Amino acid sequence: MDPLVITVAPVGGELTRERQPHLPLAADEIAEEVARCREAGASIVHLHVRDEDGAPSQSRDHFARAVDAIKRSAPDIVIQTSTGGSVGMTEEERVQPLDLKPEMATLTTGTVNFGDEVFENPFPLVERFFLRMREIGVQPEFEVFDTGMVETARRLTEEHDAEPRHRHFDLVLGVPGGMAGTAGAVVHMASILPSGATWSATGIGRTHLPVTLAALALGGHVRTGFEDTIYYGEGRLAETNAELIARVSRIAGEVGREVATPDRAREIVGITRRSG
Ligand code: KMH
Ligand code: ZN
């Protein structure tokens, strides 16, 4: 098995301090949290940012501040900016962080019910985001919430990549409206990915541990952090993102799975252009 790539998602696009009092909001708070997560074993940060009032923002400037701060606090970590943003944001808002030419960015390849709301990703928008990433050398991480989204990612790459390129997926399971966060769902999703693709899995809320353990056992990779779960255990809020990352690292150590460095993570997920 490859060494384990652990991605931290420390902020999210929906969470508030009312629900998670330890949520980092300002650029320097995010950067300090990312440094702690890097020490605990994270090699990629899935990044959302906030404005001066703590509200979700996809603005280029807010992203630039957080990216600069992270480059100082955790210089070797892979920065993966979100193009999902928050439910309801426009395409123009969501695309902005790509202007910073991050090494990696997320790309959700379909529309999904998201609790009481709808996370809208019509094919033309997905295709435009994908082509922009290819144009500027950003490696997409295909965020797939159900099986149809895998097929859309396959279609995009088959229609637009003249030469086969490495494809990396994140199975986002346990969203109310998407696929269940069970070990069986991880097994099924992993079985339908294009051959040669790599993948991580994200278990939302209380599905975090079953999804994480299934991914570890199958040779996949893992994402966690406040965006995905605010609890460390039953009824106990996590105090830092780093404690969630440290637990995944410890479990990997117990089962003999090495934890990837950021440079090894770059090789595994297919990043070919290192950011400056
Ligand atoms: N906030 C979710 C609706 C992404 O970052 O690309 C979308 C999301 C996906 O978090
Ligand atoms: Zn996200």
Neighbours of ion ligand 2 (CB under 5 A): 82
For residues 73 and 34, is the Cβ–Cβ distance under 8 A?
yes
Ligand nearest the Cα of residue 119 is: 1
Distances (CA, A) of 82 to 17, 141, 186, 194: 20, 10, 23, 23
Q: Whose C-alpha lies nearest to ligand 1, atom 7?
A: 84
Q: What residue ranges line ligand 1, CB within 6 angstroms?
A: 13-14, 82-84, 86-87, 106, 108, 114, 119, 143
pLDDT single digits (tens) 76-134? 999 999 999 999 999 999 999 999 999 999 999 999 999 999 999 999 999 999 999 99
Which pLDDT belongs to residue 276? 60
Please tell me the chain's helix, strand, coil percentages from 3-state DSSP, rounded to the nearest 5. Answer: 40, 20, 40
Which pLDDT belongs to residue 183? 98
Q: Whose C-alpha lies nearest to ligand 1, atom 8?
A: 84
What is the whole-number distance in angstroms between the Cα of residue 47 and the centre of ligand 2? 7
| Measured distance CA(85)–CA(100) in Å, rounded | 15
Residue 139 above 90 pLDDT?
yes
pLDDT single digits (tens) 146-160? 999 999 999 999 999
pLDDT single digits (tens) 191-230? 999 999 999 999 999 999 999 999 999 999 999 999 999 9
- Closest among 33, 93, 100, 11 to 57, alpha carbons compared: 93
Interior CA angle at 181 toward 177 and 186, to 5°?
Answer: 120
Helices 241-254/27-40 angle, 10° precision? 10
Q: Model's pTM, two decimal places?
A: 0.98
Helix (H) or strand (E) holding 136: helix 123-136
For residues 49 and 63, is the Cβ–Cβ distance under 8 A?
yes
Dihedral (CA of 227, 39, 105, 220) sign: negative
